[in-house]
Amino acid sequence: MTDTLAEKTCTPCRGGVPPLTRDEAQRFQAQAPDWELGDDAHRIQRSFRCRNFRDALALVQEIGELAETESHHPDISFGWGYVTVSLSTKKIKGLHENDFIMASKIDRVFDRSGRPLDRQQ
């Protein structure tokens, strides 16, 4: 992992590859430390706090545009003042490097948006 994950591009996953092991996922998580491993290391998730509903919606829209660009689509829930993003690779029923690439890129979107008040774990 010489390049940072946020500088990489998601590669199409056609299935047939095993999901990351817990140890592999933890090594990738070092570059996306605000994301939590869930479902026995089969997904990662992070919640973001925003000032209001409008800012949460704008963050969701930015993440959606990024997801389309990367062809890697997270599950997103949001409401007044929060956005929760969950990533996993459905074709392999677990985590892939792509999930951590997206997490790092989503972190960058959040950091440069200037809208959120703070982070919540």
Res. 17 pLDDT band, cuts 50 70 90: confident
State the pTM of this model.
Answer: 0.86
Burial code of 68-84, b = ≥16 C-beta within 10 A, e = fewer? eebebebebebeebbbb
Res. 3 pLDDT band, cuts 50 70 90: low
Residue 2's pLDDT is what? Answer: 43
Burial class (CB in 10 A: 0-12, 13-18, 19+), 3: exposed
The domains of the chain, with CATH numbers, are: 39-114 (3.30.1360.20)
